[in-house]
Amino acid sequence: MAKGFELFMSEEPELGKAYGGLVMQVAKSSALDQKTQELAYLAVLSALGMQGGLDFHVASLKKMGATRDEVRSAVLVGLPAVGMTAIESLGAALDAYDGAEG
């Protein structure tokens, strides 16, 4: 889990609870299955250059049965739009996949 997110959750527990509720509601109302939703989220994180949450989300994907190729492909979805920002997340995501329990 990203250190900034951990700090947010510990310093602002009420806001953290509200944020968690939002996250759960977004997932609940999605037409996507859980694995596809998580792959899409990984693509968004990578496109924004937010590497702090990659370990957590890639480990979650691996537990859901995502392959290394699916993780790599999700990271690179944003390549045409954001270029190098997406590529910067590739190594971190694949390292997280290789180190995660499945």
Q: Are 94 and 51 in contact (CB under 8 A)?
A: no
Amino acid at 1: M
- Give the total residue count for the chain: 102
3-state secondary structure (DSSP) of residue 49? coil
Alpha-helical (H) ranges within the chain are 3-11, 13-29, 34-48, 54-63, 68-76, 79-82, 84-88, 90-99
pTM for the model = 0.85
Rounded to the nearest integer, the mean pLDDT of the chain is 94
What is the per-residue pLDDT across 44-54, written as a single tens digit (0 to 9) for each? 999 999 998 89
Confidence label for 43 from pLDDT (cuts 50, 70 and 90): very high
Domain residues for 13? 1-30
Predicted local confidence at residue 44, as pLDDT: 96
Using CA atoms, how far apart are residues 78 and 72, in angstroms rounded to an integer?
Answer: 11
Res 74 pLDDT > 90: yes
Question: How many domains is the chain partitioned into structurally?
Answer: 2
Treating both helix axes as pointing N-terminal to C-terminal, what angle do 54-63 and 90-99 enclose, rounded to 10 degrees? 50
Q: Same structural domain for residues 39 and 84?
A: yes
What is the per-residue pLDDT across 25-35, written as a single tens digit (0 to 9) for each? 999 999 999 99
Mean of pLDDT values over 5-12: 94
Q: Same structural domain for residues 13 and 46?
A: no
Q: Same structural domain for residues 22 and 41?
A: no
